Structure 1
Amino acid sequence: MDWITSFGANAASYILPFLFVLGIIIFVHEMGHFLVARWCGVAVDAFSIGFGPELLGWVDRHGTRWKLSAIPLGGYVKFAGDENAASVPDRAVLAAMNEEERRTSFFLKPLWQRAAIVAAGPVANFILAIAIFSIFFMISGRPVADAVVSAVEPDSPAAAAGFEPGDVIVAIDGDKVRSFSTVQRTVASAAGSPLTFTVERGGERLELVATPELRELTDPFGNPYSSGVLGVRREVGAEGIPRERLGPIGAIGAGAAETWYITTRTVDVVTGIFSGTQSASQLGGPIRVAQLSGEVAGLGIAALFSLAAMLSVSIGLINLLPVPMLDGGHLLFYLIEGVRGRPLSERAQDVGFRIGLALVLLLMGFATFNDIVHLTS
C-alpha cells in the first residue's frame, strides 16, 4: 500500500488547494441559483457549501441559513418546500402552505422562472470561467507565437502529408491560424478526421492534407489523456512564447472563446468515451482533483485559478446532463412539462430521481475507482 503512504504524506499539500478550487466553483454555482431565485421572489431556507453536519453558519435578515458543512464535495440552495438538497418537492409541506408561503414557493412559480433558477447554476460556472480567462488575457496576454514548424516527427501524419521544417501554417480547413496553439487545439480534437493545412514554404502557398492520429499521452503531472497528434513541433527560444495583452472587450471575447473551446473539447472527450474512441480512464474523481490541485498550486496562484476555470466548465457541463438529481434532469422535467402542459406525475418524478441518484453514485464510484488505479499504477 505504498500509494496510501505516498498520498497520505502529501495530503496536507493537496487538501488546501483542493478546498480553495472547489470552494470557489461551488460558491459561484450555488450563488447563481440563489440570485435568480431571489430575483424571482422565491424564499430560500438555506445556502450551504458542503453537505452533512453544519460546521458553522448564520441566518440573514431574509431568513436564509448560510452555512459551511462537513463534506466539501458539493453544495446546495434549499428553497421553501424542498424535501432535500436535490430540490425534490416535499408534497406535505407544499399542501400545508398558506397563501403568503405559496407566493414564495419555488415549485409554485411559473415554469420559465423555475427553469431560469435551475439553469442559473451551470450558467454561473461558465461566467466564472470567462471572467478568470478574461483577467488573465488582460494581465498576462494570450500566446501569439507564429505557427512555424521547427521539426517533423518521422512516421507521423505530418511526415506522410509532406510537412517540412520551416513551413508556416497559415490556415486549417480555410480558417485562419492565429498561433501555434491554434494548430495544437484543432489537431487535438480531430483525430481520425482529414484536415487541409495551408502552409507557406519558400514564398509559395501549398495545401497539405493530414489526418491526426489518436495517441495516449500524459500531462506534466503524469495524468493520462487521449489526444489527436499531427507530429510537428515548434521550438521555443530563451525569450519564451510571445504574448499579447488584450483590452477589456477583447479579453472578454477571448475568454468566451477559451471557455467555448474547453466546453467543446470536454464534450468531445465524453462522447468519445461513450463511443469507445476515448479511454474511460480519463474520468477522474475527487482524489485525482485533489492531487492535481496540489500539484498545480506549486506552479502559483495563477495556475490554480486557471485550473478552477477549467473545472468550473466541467462542473457546469456535468450539471447540465439530463439526469434527474442534476440541474439538467430538472430542466428535462420542465421541458416535458412545457410540451405536455402539465408536470409529470409524482410517481414518475420519484422514479426519475431514484434512477438519477443511482447513476450519479455509479459515476462517482467509477471515477473514484479510476483515481485509485491511477495512484497505484
Structure 2
Amino acid sequence: VQRKLIPDDETQAMFLIPEGVKPAIGEVVKDSPAEKSGIKAGDILLAINDESLYSSQQATDIISSNKDQELKITVERNKVKKDVFVTPGSDAKIGVLIGTVFMGETQMKTYGAFESVYYGWKDIEKMTALTFSMIGKVFTGDVEFKKAFGGPIKIAQIAAKSADSGISSFLYFLALLSLSLAILNIMPFPVLDGGHLVMILIESAIKREIPIKIKMAIQNTGLVLLLLLMAFIIYNDILSL
C-alpha cells in the first residue's frame, strides 16, 4: 500500500492539497490591474495581505472579496520573493488566470499489511479530529458554512481532481468521503442514526417508550430540516460554479 504524505496544516489537510502545491499565474490580461502592477505569467502566489495561499480557489476568493481595495500580493519569481500591490476592478478581478504549481518534494513509502492497517487507522483518527474541528469552527463562526460543506456538485469536482492525480489519490478521497458521511450520520439529529441513538438513550433513562406521535413529529421535522439543508448546500454548489 502506498501512502502519500499530506501536510499537517488543517486547511490543506481538509481539502487534500499536497504540501508544496501553490497557486501560480497562468496568464495575465493585457492592460489589466495585474499587468499594470507588474504581475507576470509564471509568478508563484505565496500570500495575499500576508495570508498564506494553498490553492487557486483560495486566491480567487480573497481577490473577489476585496473589490476596489488594494491588495499586497507576495509572489515568487525566479526564486526571488517580491511584493506587488494591485487593486481589483469593479468586477472584483485583477485580470489573471490562476493555476497551480508543485514546489515541494513527493515522498512515497511502501508498507506491509500490518503497518498499512496501523497508518490507515492513524489517518482515520486524524481526519476524524479535523472533521469535528471544522464543524466546531462553523458553529463558532470561524469558518463560513458554505466553505466547510459541499454537496454532490462539489464532491464531483473534488473527485475529478483526485482522479487526475492518480488511482491512489482517488481511493484516498473515497475513503475520506465515506468517513465524513459516517461521522455526519452519528450526529444527534433526527432521521440520522445519531438521532435514533439519542431517542433510545432517552427511553432508557425514563424507562418507558416515547409516544409514537412524538417520535413521528420529531422525525418529520428532522426530515424537513435535512432536506432544506441539502437544498441550501446544493444551491451554494451551483453558485460556486
Query: What TM-score range do you get, normalising by the shorter chain?
Result: 0.5 to 0.7
Establish whether residue 247 from structure 1 lines up as the match of residue 112 from structure 2: yes
Q: Give distance in 2, aligned partners of 1:250 and 1:186.
A: 27
Establish whether residue 294 from structure 1 lines up as the match of residue 120 from structure 2: no
Q: Give distance in 1, aligned partners of 2:113 and 2:126.
A: 20
Query: What pairs with 1:257-296 in structure 2 (closer than 5 Å)?
Result: 257-282=122-147, 283-296=149-162
What's 1:140 paired with?
2
- The one-letter code sitting in structure 2 at the alignment partner of 1:314 is S
Distance change (3 Å), C-alpha of 1:216 and 1:319: farther
- The one-letter code sitting in structure 1 at the alignment partner of 2:172 is S
Distance change (3 Å), C-alpha of 1:244 and 1:254: same
Q: Give distance in 2, aligned partners of 1:187 and 1:292.
A: 13
What RMSD over aligned residues (CA atoms) do the two structures have, in Å? 3.3
Distance change (3 Å), C-alpha of 1:217 and 1:289: farther
5+ long unaligned stretches in structure 2: 15-49, 62-102
What's 2:206 paired with?
340
Q: Give distance in 2, aligned partners of 1:364 and 1:216.
A: 32
- The one-letter code sitting in structure 2 at the alignment partner of 1:247 is G
CA shift at 1:220, angstroms? 6.0
SS state at 1:325 partner: coil
Aligned length: 166
CA shift at 1:298, angstroms? 2.2
Q: Give distance in 2, aligned partners of 1:359 and 1:334.
A: 21
SS state at 1:181 partner: coil
Q: Give distance in 1, aligned partners of 2:179 and 2:59.
A: 19
5+ long unaligned stretches in structure 1: 1-138, 144-179, 190-213, 226-234
Q: Give distance in 2, aligned partners of 1:246 and 1:288.
A: 32
- TM norm structure 2: 0.59
Q: Could you tell me whether the CA contact under 8 Å between 1:324 and 1:353 is conserved in 2? A: yes
Deviations 1:121-163 (A, max 9, x none): xxxxxxxxxxxxxxxxxx22454xxxxxxxxxxxxxxxxxxxx
SS state at 1:296 partner: helix
CA shift at 1:187, angstroms? 9.9
CA shift at 1:280, angstroms? 1.3
CA shift at 1:350, angstroms? 0.8
Q: Could you tell me whether the CA contact under 8 Å between 2:12 and 2:54 is conserved in 1? A: no
Establish whether residue 363 from structure 1 lines up as the match of residue 229 from structure 2: yes
What's 1:318 paired with?
184
Q: Could you tell me whether the CA contact under 8 Å between 1:272 and 1:278 is conserved in 2? A: yes
Q: Could you tell me whether the CA contact under 8 Å between 1:324 and 1:356 is conserved in 2? A: yes
Identical amino acids, percent of aligned pairs:
29
Deviations 1:22-79 (A, max 9, x none): xxxxxxxxxxxxxxxxxxxxxxxxxxxxxxxxxxxxxxxxxxxxxxxxxxxxxxxxxx
CA shift at 1:342, angstroms? 2.0
Q: Give distance in 2, aligned partners of 1:223 and 1:333.
A: 45
CA shift at 1:301, angstroms? 2.1
CA shift at 1:336, angstroms? 0.9
SS state at 2:183 partner: helix
Q: Give distance in 2, aligned partners of 1:222 and 1:271.
A: 21
- The one-letter code sitting in structure 2 at the alignment partner of 1:140 is Q
- The one-letter code sitting in structure 2 at the alignment partner of 1:353 is Q
Q: Give distance in 2, aligned partners of 1:364 and 1:309.
A: 22
Deviations 1:238-260 (A, max 9, x none): xx433332222222121111011
CA shift at 1:330, angstroms? 0.9
CA shift at 1:223, angstroms? 10
What's 1:330 paired with?
196
SS state at 1:369 partner: helix
Q: Could you tell me whether the CA contact under 8 Å between 1:221 and 1:295 is conserved in 2? A: no
What's 1:181 paired with?
7
- The one-letter code sitting in structure 2 at the alignment partner of 1:336 is I
Distance change (3 Å), C-alpha of 1:216 and 1:281: farther
Q: Give distance in 1, aligned partners of 2:161 and 2:109.
A: 27
CA shift at 1:373, angstroms? 1.5
